[in-house]
Amino acid sequence: YGRSSRLAWPQNSLKLLTNNFVPGAQGGSGKIINQNLNISYLYQKMEFVYQRLVELRIWHDYFSSEDLIPERAPRDYEVNFLFDIQPSDDTRKLLANYRLLWRQTPYGILIGTEIKAGNPTQTLIKIEEKLKFAFVLSLKDPYLLNYSNLPLDLNEPRLYVFDNFSGNKLSLGRTRYLFLSKPMEGYNPGRQYKIGDLIRANNRTYEVKDLPVESAPGPAGGQAEWRPGANTQYVTRNDTIATYDKVYLYKGPNHQPGTDVTFQVTDIFGKVIPLGNKNIPGLDEPVELAHSPQDPARELEHSLSLGNLPMGRYSLNLSGNPIDVFYRLEKKRHPKAWAVVEFHYTPPGNANPEVPANFAFIDPGPNPSEPLSIPMPKVFHLRFKNRSTFWRYLSAKDRSEIYTKGEPLPIQKAYFEVKDDNNVVLPHPTVTRITREIDDTGMIDKEKFYSQIYI
């Protein structure tokens, strides 16, 4: 908000909210009340106290051990090298209106709220209405997808979307971790798996390392086609959603030839959102009319203008039946957007769905008629799996193949020893030379990723 650029910020609090404030700025001197939670600073004899409200920590197994969620990242790990993270325009306004500050940290982002003394402690500006803080992640590392176990075969523009509706929690010992990604799927015998696909079973994750997959992984470590991994929750392709900017072009089966059909867009709470000048006048809820072709062999095509929709996730209904879910994002404003992280607050009894209790960062107290605004600091996590590839060693002179490992190995920054069949220690690959190939030499085609290593 307006005065923030002049406020002093103590140097030893930089790890909490980083260093966008300049220590020793005019009119200010600061002090730490509690380095883990609260910060206080003085400005012209006025004291402002901020408390952590929401923190997001992003982890990647390429940089750290896959065994657990670390309390601290490796020394050379900074999310800033991977992503540029910025609040949406609407979020910037909300942060200012509610006297909230946000900062990018070495691990992710942090939102702090100004608080006022009392019993109980509350946010200075009461948070009692539905609201959403949205942050856009853009890729900074051009090789991130090379060393991340994420799909490269998405056939349409899609966006990773994470939020605190996920309900995805995991307890390890006495610690409960809250993930913004969707819960990973379990084993599905009807699914056509690919090498690299991830599932959860037996209180751990498993990665497909060979095909065909004919059975679920066993509790003792799995079968030959499964590689057991950490007891955690990873980002997967299920966290993606189709994204559109100004126009949604529908093209689908013509189930009602020669008749009028209606399109309707609803937000995540089921509220119908007007699309524009094609809305049918006189109806209680705004819907858009389209006419199906007389010929049943012709597909129904209709374009919907999305220009009036705020940034966010929506459902599309055709004649009352849900047919799609999409995310509206203005590409001109966010041309390099790769993911969106949303932190929602929903007052109890005033929204459907409601944010799960463990994921709520505001406690309204026991009396709905006199709601409070008690901060409930939350730490959320996103975790990315490193990609496994077949390590192929080639001659630097003529590029002929020398040796290829028989099963995929994880690409990671930490060193581990790899040997060939003659017990010769081999070098690790870089993240720059990775190819995708189809192996059709067996009974089933296998999509494989290879790391090319010249020696």
Segment 429-438 mean pLDDT: 92
Mean pLDDT of 355-381: 94
**Cβ distance 434 to 389 under 8 Å?**
yes
How far apart are alpha carbons 210 and 446 in whole angstroms? 8
Residues 365 and 424 in one domain: no
Q: Are 258 and 310 in contact (CB under 8 A)?
A: no
What's the number of domains the chain is made of? 3
- Our CA angle for 415, 57, 94, nearest 5°, is 155
> What tens digit of pLDDT does each residue of 372-413 get?
999 999 999 999 999 999 999 999 999 999 999 988 999 998
pLDDT in tens, 267-309: 999 998 888 655 566 666 678 888 999 999 999 999 999 988 9
Residue 376 sits in the same domain as residue 356: yes
- Whether 20 and 105 share a structural domain: yes
* Residue 227 lies inside a defined structural domain of this protein: no
Per-residue pLDDT tens for 170-187?
998 888 999 999 999 999
Res 284: pLDDT = 62
Same domain for 408 and 318: no
Residues 314 and 378 in one domain: no
Q: State how far the Cα of 6 lies from the Cα of 22, in Å rounded to an integer.
A: 8
The predicted-structure confidence for 315-352, as pLDDT tens digits, reads as follows 999 998 999 999 999 999 999 999 999 999 999 887 88
- What residue numbers bound the domain in which 100 lies? 4-127+350-384
Q: Chain-wide mean pLDDT for the chain?
A: 85
pLDDT band at 162 (very low <50, low <70, confident <90, very high): very high
**Other beta carbons less than 10 A from residue 340's beta carbon:** 23
What does the pLDDT read at residue 439? 87
**DSSP string of 47-97?**
EEEEEEEEEEEEEETTTS-SSS--SS--TT--GGGTEEEEE-HHHHHHHHH
Mean pLDDT of 61-87: 81
Higher pLDDT, 226 or 414: 226
Q: Is the model's pLDDT at 196 over the cut of 50?
A: yes
- Cβ atoms of 185 and 438 closer than 8 Å: no
Token representation of residue 376: 């409930």
Q: How many CB atoms are located within 10 Å of the residue 420 CB?
A: 14
On whether residue 8 sits in a domain, the answer given is yes
Structure token pair of residue 422: 């003659």
Residue 223's pLDDT band, with cuts at 50, 70 and 90, is: confident
**In this predicted model, what pLDDT tens digit does every residue of 22-42 receive, in sequence order?**
222 323 333 333 334 455 544
Residues 377 and 269 in one domain: no
Length of the chain as a residue count: 455
- Inside any domain, residue 439: yes
The Cα 202–Cα 180 span in angstroms is 21
What are the beta bridge partners of residue 163?
Answer: 342
